[in-house]
């Protein structure tokens, strides 16, 4: 959560169509909660609204032939929004040169030699990559931390180039417009009947299938491109496996329920991996092509890992913000996600937590603020003035459409913060979780703030006698060190490291 965002943010209206929503996902969406691991997105921009905006002044740009067209103008209008959503641009000349080298090798074999590509590294820990029509490509530093060689990076970038050359953004925009019109007709004619609901579901399935087909087409285009560029074509399958492993690592249970991804915009990972390997075999057996691992690792050595100082840090179950000088802890089993807009956490029993800041008059009573209309289903009698670890606070309960909510508003250090906890109506754990979280909120000492340091990826050479266990023990600021070490280095549980190998670790040095 950004310090600047907290100070300037207007009151977030959590009314009947936000806090009181049925799906837990929408409660999290309010916080800008992006579960985008192992996924890329093809953004379809609306009409140009900021035509005078100039893209980032330090992008990695590869110009084959100038492409001054409508698509590029549409993408330019979206560029500032992308930067705002993903923490801005990540600047590192050494890293940029490495990425530019990969992009340059791919443009030579591009299916559309007249296309200009502009790629930006986003300052986000999320593992993601996506494209805008017109040649705007984006990759996050989180994705770079997960990749293990130039061939894997090339596979990701070539996949996004495939979206651009195949005009997937415009195709999806057209289909969405058609489905939107069909939805309106169905609603007007059939109302809320079972027939109408079935028709709407069929429309959603058509869109989902269209998206999945686009992903598979982009995979095929991308693998063909990296193979023709001389990279290892099997890198695409390897990176898909790494994303799957990272998704499992990040999940609460250690595994994901594939049935929950039925309407996801991407095919399930096993299917994509199998198809990727089939495409790769067209270039030969595994081992064909270059991986260029050394130059890739040299490029990402020192890469910022996890949260930025401006957004605050997640250390296990604790969030700490040196700029704001505050901290809180979530219960065991919860996973914290930190974004520029807010901090969110999800845990067992579909319980979700949101932490953010709001701007209200310093003389306004916090109980009055809670009653000001931003909470749907507020139980007025539950509103109470309290003190939390020496800080002025107010708490309340609310309920709406199958959900119950605990609200805590805290004034500390000249700022006002909100801790919102949501649970299904049948849950008996809301009060326990909410009281635990709000009770952990506190002001950081000067020594604590000074001791907080950002984490980085460091590439080290394995010494004789070192093992995965001893190497992972060197990592700081992360949980499940051995598991994360394996994921970051694409090592299976039964694998071993040898003296002379280069591996990635996470450290604050």
Give the separation between CA 323 and CA 449, rounded to whole angstroms: 8
Q: Return the CATH class of domain 453-507.
A: alpha beta
CA atoms within 13 A on the CB side of 459: 19
Look at the block and give the residue holding tokens 């591996």.
503
As a whole number, the mean pLDDT across the chain is: 79
Question: Taking the CB of residue 486, how many other CB atoms lie within 10 A of it?
Answer: 18
Its pTM stands at 0.73
Question: Taking the CB of residue 151, how many other CB atoms lie within 10 A of it?
Answer: 27
Give the dihedral of Cα atoms 465, 469, 473, 476; nearest 10 deg: 130
Query: Is the pLDDT at 174 greater than 80, yes or no?
Result: no
Q: Check residue 134 and give its pLDDT.
A: 77
Q: Are 71 and 134 in contact (CB under 8 A)?
A: yes
Token digits of residue 98? 């490495």
**pLDDT tens readout for residues 48-87:** 223 222 233 333 333 332 344 666 677 788 889 889 888 8
Which whole-number Å values give the CA distances from 284 to 31, 223, 232, 287, in the listed order?
Answer: 46, 13, 10, 8
Give the separation between CA 290 and CA 500, rounded to whole angstroms: 20
- Provide the pLDDT confidence category of residue 160 given band limits of 50, 70 and 90: confident
**pLDDT tens readout for residues 35-51:** 222 233 333 333 322 32
CATH 3.40.1000.10 describes domain 313-450? yes
Listed by start position, the domains of the chain span 35-169+218-291, 313-450, 453-507
Q: Do domains 313-450 and 453-507 have the same CATH topology?
A: no
Q: Check residue 76 and give its pLDDT.
A: 80
């Amino acid at each position: 959560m950004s310090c600047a965002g907290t100070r300037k943010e207007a009151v977030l209206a959590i009314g009947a169509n936000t806090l009181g929503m049925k799906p837990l996902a929408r409660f999290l969406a309010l916080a800008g909660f992006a579960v985008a691991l192992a996924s890329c997105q093809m953004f379809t921009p609306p009409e140009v609204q900021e035509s005078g905006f100039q893209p980032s002044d330090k992008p990695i740009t590869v110009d084959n032939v100038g492409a001054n067209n409508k698509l590029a103008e549409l993408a330019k209008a979206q560029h500032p929004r992308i930067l705002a959503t993903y923490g801005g641009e990540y600047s590192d000349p050494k890293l940029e040169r490495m990425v530019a080298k990969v992009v340059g090798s791919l443009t030579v074999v591009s299916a559309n030699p007249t296309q200009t590509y502009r790629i930006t590294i986003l300052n986000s820990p999320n593992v993601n990559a996506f494209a805008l029509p017109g040649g705007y490509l984006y990759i996050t530093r989180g994705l770079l931390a997960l990749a293990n060689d130039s061939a894997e990076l090339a596979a990701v970038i070539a996949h996004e180039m495939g979206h651009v050359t195949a005009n997937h953004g415009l195709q999806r925009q057209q289909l969405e417009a058609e489905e939107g019109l069909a939805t309106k007709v169905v609603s007007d004619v059939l109302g809320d009947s079972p027939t109408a609901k079935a028709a709407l579901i069929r429309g959603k399935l058509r869109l989902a299938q269209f998206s999945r087909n686009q992903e598979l087409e982009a995979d095929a285009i991308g693998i063909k491109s990296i193979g023709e560029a001389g990279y290892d074509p099997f890198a695409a399958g390897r990176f898909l496996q790494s994303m799957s492993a990272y998704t499992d690592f990040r999940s609460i249970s250690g595994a994901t329920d594939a049935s929950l991804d039925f309407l996801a915009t991407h095919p399930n990972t096993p299917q994509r991996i199998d198809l990727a390997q089939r495409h790769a075999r067209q270039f030969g057996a595994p081992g064909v092509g270059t991986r260029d691992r050394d130059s890739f690792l040299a490029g990402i050595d020192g890469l910022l890992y996890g949260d930025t100082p401006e957004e605050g840090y997640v250390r296990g179950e604790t969030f700490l913000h040196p700029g704001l000088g505050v901290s809180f802890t979530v219960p065991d089993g919860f996973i914290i996600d930190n974004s520029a807009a807010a901090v969110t956490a999800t845990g067992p029993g579909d319980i979700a937590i949101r932490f953010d800041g709001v701007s209200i008059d310093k003389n306004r009573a916090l109980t009055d603020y809670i009653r000001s209309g931003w909470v749907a289903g507020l139980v007025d009698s539950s509103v109470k003035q309290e003190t939390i670890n020496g800080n002025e606070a107010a708490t309340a309960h609310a309920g709406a459409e199958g959900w119950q909510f605990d609200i805590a508003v805290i004034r500390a250090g000249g700022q006002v913060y909100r801790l919102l906890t949501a649970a299904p109506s049948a849950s008996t754990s809301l009060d326990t979780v909410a009281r635990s979280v709000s009770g952990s909120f506190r002001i950081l000492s000067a020594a604590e703030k000074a001791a907080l340091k950002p984490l980085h990826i460091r590439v080290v050479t394995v010494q004789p006698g070192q093992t995965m266990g001893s190497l992972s023990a060197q990592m700081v600021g992360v949980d499940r060190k051995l598991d994360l070490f394996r994921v970051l280095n694409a090592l299976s549980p039964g694998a071993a490291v040898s003296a002379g190998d280069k591996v990635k670790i996470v450290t604050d040095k």
